[in-house]
Chains A and B, each alone.
Chain A
Amino acid sequence: MPAESRLTIAGSDKRPLANAQPMGAVHADETVSATVVLRRRGDHPAIAVDSDSYQPHVREDYGITHGADPNDLAAIEAFAHEHHLTVSERDAARRTIVVTGTAEAIQQAFGTQLQRDTMNGASFRTRTGMLSVPAAVHPAIIAVLGLDNRPIAKPHFRRNHKVTPAATPPGSFTPPQLSKIYNFPKNVTGAGQTIAIIELGGGYRTSDLKSYFSSLKIKEPKISAVSVDGGLNKPGGDADGEVMLDIEVAGAIAPGAAIAVYFAPNTDQGFHDAISKAVHDTARKPSIISISWGAPEDAWTQQARDAMNAALQDAAAMGVTVTVAAGDDGSTDGMADGKQHVDFPSSSPFALACGGTKLTDSGTKIPSEQVWNELANNEGSTGGGVSNFFPIPDYQKNAGVPKNVDTQFAGRGVPDICGDADPTTGYLVRVDGQNEIIGGTSAVAPLWAGLLALLNQQLGKPVGFVNPKLYGLPASSFFDVVTGNNGSYKAGPKWDACTGLGSPNGTAIGEALAGNATASAGAPVS
C-alpha cells in the first residue's frame, strides 16, 4: 500500500486509564465499531488535500443543527471501504457514520492501537494518544467515537470478575442454577409468550448469545430488535452489559419465549415511547416487559413521571406484567442530599418492583439469603423505600409499609419482591466476547420476567397486573428475607422495604395463582 498522507484529529488525545490493569492488545479479529462525526454542511471549505490551511473546528457539541454535506458522507464511506470497514449506519441529520470491522482494520484506518484493560472487574477497550486519518478526509471529520469504551463517569457497574467458561467462580450462579434454587416450574419453557426488554443504549451480538446458550445447553430463544425513536441495536459500549444480562437471564429461564428488545434513546421521550410501543405492539404481543433502567424519583419532571406511569397503567390494563429493577444504590438511590429516595419507574404502583439479595446456595429447599448491601465495599445495595410521589396503593395497605422517613408521606413501598442481585453472588453472563459475573437489581427484573413467562404458559393465560394478586398469596409462595438493611430500611418478617414479600418459590406461586383463578371463577368483577 502506498504511504498515505495522514493528519491527527484535534482533541482526540486519550490518556492511559488510571488504576487499570493492562491485559494486552485486543484480538486482531475482534469486531469494533466507531462513530465518525462529520462537520456541518456549509461554511466549510471543500475537502482539500492542502490541509495546512484548515483547522478543523472541534466541537464538544454533538447536537443536531445542520446535517452533513453529502460529499463528505460519500468521502467517508469511500474511506471506510478502502480500509475494509462496513458502513453499518449513515445518518445525514445526525452527521454520523458508524463503521464496523476487525480491530486490525479499525486500527489501520484510524492510526491507533487498541488495548484491553480491566478495572474493578470490568473490561474496557482503550487507546492512548491521538487518532489520525488520511489528509483527504480529515477536514470532514470532527470526532471518532467508540474506539475507546472506558467509562466516562464513575462506573455504575455491578460487575464482579471475568471468568473462563470452564471455571464459574464459587458463589456465582448460572440462570438455570437459580431456576432450581428458586423452585421454578419444570416442564414449561415460556412457549407462546413474548418477553419485551427495554434498552436505552448498548446492543447484543448474536455470536455471543449463540455461544452463551450453547454453553448452558439451552436452545437459543427467538430474539429480535425493535427500533424506537431511532434507537438501534448497537453493541460496543458500556451498556452492552445491561443488554446481554437482560436477554441472557430472561432467555435462559424461559427459552421457549420469544424475546423482543426495544432499543430507544436514553431520554424521557425514548423511555416512554419504548414502553408504549411494547405495550401496544400488536405484532409481537408481549405479555411481560422487563425494565432494568431507572433514575431517582426526584430526577424526573412530574410530567415525565406521569406519562411513564400512565403507560405502565396501560400495560396493567392490557394484562401485561412489567418487572422493574429497584436500583443499586441503597436507600438513598445514590442521591447526596442526605435523604432517602426510591428509583423510578420501579416506584410506579403499576410496576413489579424488583429488589436484590445476596444468595448462598444452602443445598436445601430454602435458599439462604440476606439483603444485598455491599455499600461498605463500594459494591452497591438494593434500592428500596417509600415513594414521595405515588400514594400507597390498595394492594399494599395491609403490608406494613412505613411512611416516607423524610416527608411522612404515605407512599408506595418499594420493592414488591426480590431475587439474587449481589455482584459477589452474581450471574454468569457473556458480554462482548467475555464471560463475566454481573449483578444488580437489573438481573432480578429479567429473572422474574422469565418466571412469569413460565407461569403464563402453565396457567394458560397471562397473569397480567400481578401485584394485587401477589400480596394476597400465602406466605409459603415466597422465601422471606429477614436479615440485613439497605441503609435506612431493615429487612424483617413479611414485606419490607429491602426485599418486598421475598424471593420467589416459583412452583408455589404458580399453584397459588392457579388456585386463586379457580376460587374466583364466577365471582363478580366490578
Chain B
Amino acid sequence: MERTAIPGSAPDHSGCRRERAVDPEAPVRATIVLRPSDPGVAAKLLSGRYDPAAHTSAGADPHAMAAVEAFARDNDLVIEESDAAGRRVVVSGPSSRMGAAFGVTFGEFVSPNGVTFRGYDRDISLPSGIAKYVLAVLGLDTRPAARPRQ
C-alpha cells in the first residue's frame, strides 16, 4: 500500500542517546489530529472578517473521521476517543502494532539533560488515502514539550 509521510513529523533527537528498543507489548497512545474542514476560516479570522455567530465549529469532515477510524480498526488499534469537533481520534495499542500503523520504529532515549523518553526514528507515514486528512500524529514521542514561564 502506498504511504505518505506527515510533513514535519520527523523528530529532532540531536544530543539524545538511544538506550534501547521499546518492548513490543508496551502500550502506546497517540492523538491523530485531522485537518480543519474549512481552510478559508484562518484568513477570515486573521483579517477580522469572521463572525463566530455565523459559523459552527470548524470541525473535521465526517468522511475523514470515518476513514481514520477505519484505518485504526484495520490495524487492530483501540479507538479511545473520537471527537469530530476537536478533530481528534485517539488510538492505542502495543508498540509493535502502533509502530507498524504509523510507519515508525520506537526507541527509548535519554535527552541531554537526562530526561528519559520514548521516541521514534523517522517521519510518521500513513496510507496515502488517510494521510491527506491528517495534520499531525502526537504522542508517539513522550519528550517534555514545554516549560512553565514563571
Hey, which bits of chain A sit against chain B, CB under 8 A? 60-66, 93, 152-153, 156-159, 200-202, 229, 239, 241-242, 245, 265-273, 276-277, 279-280, 292-295, 300-307, 310-311, 313-314, 316-319, 325-328, 343, 349-350, 383, 393-395, 438-443, 445, 464-465, 468-469, 472, 525-526
Residue B129 CB within 8 A of the other chain: no
Instruction: Give 21 CB contacts A-B under 8 Å.
Output: A63-B26, A63-B117, A200-B145, A200-B148, A229-B139, A266-B144, A272-B31, A273-B88, A280-B86, A293-B147, A293-B148, A295-B147, A307-B135, A310-B35, A317-B41, A318-B52, A328-B149, A383-B149, A395-B46, A465-B50, A525-B49
Report how far A62 CA is from B33 CA in the complex, Å: 27
Contact residues of B between 82 and 106, Cβ < 8 Å to A: 83, 85-88, 90
Contacts of A304 in B (CB 8 A): 136, 138, 145
Q: Is the CB–CB distance between A93 and B10 below 8 Å?
A: no
CA gap between A348 and B13 in the complex, in Å: 24
- CB < 8 Å neighbour of A266 from B9, B19, B145: B145
- Bound together, the chains give a CA A157 to CA B148 distance in angstroms of 8
Q: A273-B31, A280-B57, A307-B138 are in contact. Are A302 and B149 (CB under 8 A)?
A: no
**A242, B36: Cα distance in complex, Å:** 32
12 additional A-B residue pairs with CB within 8 Å, beyond A65-B22, A293-B147: A152-B113, A153-B113, A159-B150, A200-B145, A200-B148, A245-B150, A269-B30, A303-B8, A310-B135, A327-B149, A395-B47, A525-B49
Q: How far is the CA of A443 from the CA of B110 in the complex (A)?
A: 32
Q: Which residues of B line the A interface, CB within 8 A?
A: 6-12, 19, 22-23, 25-27, 29-31, 33, 35-36, 41-52, 54-55, 57-58, 83, 85-88, 90, 108, 110, 113-114, 116-118, 124, 135-139, 141-150
Q: Which residues of chain A have C-beta atoms less than 8 A from B50's C-beta?
A: 316-317, 465, 525
Whole-angstrom CA separation of A302 from B114 in the bound complex: 24
Which residues from B are CB-within-8-Å of A393? 46
Distance from A448 Cβ to chain B, minimum over Cβ atoms (Å) = 13
Is A293 within 8 A of B48, CB to CB? Answer: no
Q: How far is the CB of B148 from chain A (nearest CB, A)?
A: 4
Assess the B42–A157 pair: CB atoms within 8 A: no
**Which B residues are in CB contact (< 8 Å) with A314?**
36, 57-58, 86-87
CB-contact partner of B33 in A307, A349, A526, under 8 A: A307
Distance between A311 CB and nearest chain B CB, rounded to angstroms = 8
Cβ-neighbour of B47 out of A242, A445, A468 (below 8 A)? A468
What is the bound-complex CA distance between A472 and B48, given in angstroms?
10
Task: Find out whether the CB atom of B25 lies under 8 angstroms from the CB atom of A66.
Answer: yes
Contact of A303 with B149 at beta-carbon distance under 8 Å, contacts A314-B87, A468-B48 already known: no
A295 touching B150 by the CB < 8 A rule?
no
Known: A65-B23, A158-B150. A303 touches B83 (CB 8 A): no
Which chain B residues lie closer than 8 Å to A280 at the CB level?
57, 83, 85-86
Q: Across chains A and B, which 5 residue pairs bring their CB atoms closest together, nearest first? A: A302-B8, A468-B48, A269-B139, A307-B136, A242-B148
A311 to B35, CA, bound (A): 10
**A304, B124: Cα distance in complex, Å:** 12
Chain A residues whose C-beta falls within 8 Å of the C-beta of B117 in the assembled complex: 63
A66–B31 Cα gap in the complex (Å)?
22
| Cβ–Cβ contact B44 & A63, under 8 A | no
Known: A157-B150, A303-B137. A469 touches B116 (CB 8 A): no
- A269-B36 in contact (CB<8A): no
With a cutoff of 8 Å between Cβ atoms, the chain B residues found around residue A66 in the complex are 23, 25-26
Cα(A267)–Cα(B58), bound, Å: 25
When distances are taken between beta carbons in the complex, the residues of chain B under 8 Å from A273 are: 31, 88, 90, 138
B24 nearest CB neighbor, chain A only = A65
Give every chain B residue within 8 A of A310 (Cβ-Cβ).
33, 35-36, 87, 135
A472 to chain B: which residues have CB within 8 Å? Answer: 48
Known: A267-B139, A314-B58, A465-B45. A440 touches B26 (CB 8 A): no
Q: Which residues of B contact A64 (CB under 8 A)?
A: 26-27, 118
B148-A292 in contact (CB<8A): yes
The CA of A267 and the CA of B51, in the complex, are separated in Å by 33
